[in-house]
Amino acid sequence: MAAEGKTIDALSQFELTPALGVLGAAVNFTQSNLHMLIAAAIILALMTWGMRPRAVVPGRLQSLAEASYEFIYRMVTDQVGEEGKRFFPFVFTLFMFILVGNMLGLLPYAFTFTSHIAVTFALAAIVFVLITVVALMIHGRKFFGYFFPEGAPVWLAPIIVPVEIVSYLSRPVSLSIRLFANMVAGHVMLKVFATFVVMLAGLGAVGPFLSVMPLALNVALVGFEVLVAFLQAYVFAILTCIYLHDAVHLH
Amino acid sequence: MGQQDGFDRRLRDARLRHGLEREQGRGQLPAGPWGVGFRAGVEVVSALMVGVGLGLLLDRWLGTWPWLFLVMFLVGSAAGVLNVYRLFNPRKRDRG
């Protein structure tokens, strides 16, 4: 599939195709949307079934649910402070959606919806709108003082204010590019080395022995990708917390 | 003596749990050399993208091509440098 015509086709894995047959094609329901629904279903299932036993000594599923809950709860209270508890549902949803999406993409035949800038930018835009609205609601007009640090000479305002505004606007862009680039890079590398396996295997007698090398590398890469999948979800969530801290406390 | 230590520890834990004290130095961003380098690069590129995009939009709106584009390119670069600076020197957390 990947090695057709002796070329490396690493990008076709990101193409969108309609899912669910004729019905999906009619409403442009792609496999990306399907995987988002699957991710949401997995999170729901983990939370409902995992917490159903309500055991004092949790089982495997329950401790997974509790660990993820407490992990994000501590992150939010550490970063935003006690008043940040009301943002916990938002950050938890965001983190779980990205984490499950990243992990889902590592399964064979699955699609990584976080490898599309449209998806990651939509998520980052939600965060951006939220932090701006929260800052405006809590601080009102004082929010605009954010773009001009107190104590700076007034004649520098024409320089400082545009730079601060661009810096503020670049937050959702950097947030979305970071996640998107990491996921794309990882999947392209996996695909390229997987193609090497197939190509080298066709080199006659020594081929199969040579192709063990990219295969071994791919095994290591998959492990690395699991790490990246978690790390990027974590970075997205913690940056959201840091931005929320800025919005709540406004320096 | 041991009983008193235990009491202090439990008191601190309880105060932490109820938000009366803050524990410091937890939940920071991961800091490997590759991660930091990549993050700095992304910050610069995204600030440049926003600056250039804003400049182009304003130019199209006001018909001042290419002046606002050039100005906003510089502003975007400055914002990128500012982003990287903030990455290594976060704003003071205790104030406010």
pLDDT per residue rounded down to tens, chain A (251 residues) = 444 556 778 888 888 888 888 888 888 899 999 999 999 999 999 999 988 888 888 889 999 999 999 999 999 998 888 888 999 999 999 999 999 999 999 998 899 999 999 999 999 999 999 999 999 999 988 888 888 888 888 888 888 999 999 999 999 999 999 999 999 999 999 999 999 898 888 887 888 888 899 999 999 999 999 999 999 999 999 999 999 998 998 86
User: So where are chain A's domains?
Assistant: 66-249
CB contact under 8 Å between A170 and B79, yes or no, is yes
Tally C-beta pairs within 8 A across A and B. 80
The minimal CB distance from B46 to the residues A78, A162, A174 is found for A174
C-alpha A16/C-alpha A117 separation (Å) is: 13
Instruction: Please give the residue range of the domain that contains residue B42.
Output: 2-88
Residue B95 lies in a domain: no
pLDDT score of A199: 87
Q: Which ipTM score applies to this complex?
A: 0.81
pLDDT score of B8: 73
DSSP conformational letter for A18: B
Residue B45 lies in a domain: yes
CB contact under 8 Å between A163 and B72, yes or no, is no
Alpha helices by DSSP H, listed for chain A, are 21-26, 31-51, 60-80, 88-104, 117-139, 157-201, 207-210, 212-249
First to last CA, chain B: 39
- Residues of B whose CB is below 8 A from A127: none
Residue B61 lies in a domain: yes
Residue B49 lies in a domain: yes
- Residues of A whose CB is below 8 A from B79: 163-164, 166-167, 170
Instruction: Tell me the pLDDT tens digit for each residue of A114-139.
Output: 999 999 999 999 999 999 999 999 99
Number of domains in chain B: 1
Residue B36 lies in a domain: yes
Residue B93 lies in a domain: no
Task: Please tell me the distance in Å from A170's CA to the nearest CA on chain B.
Answer: 5
pLDDT score of B4: 59
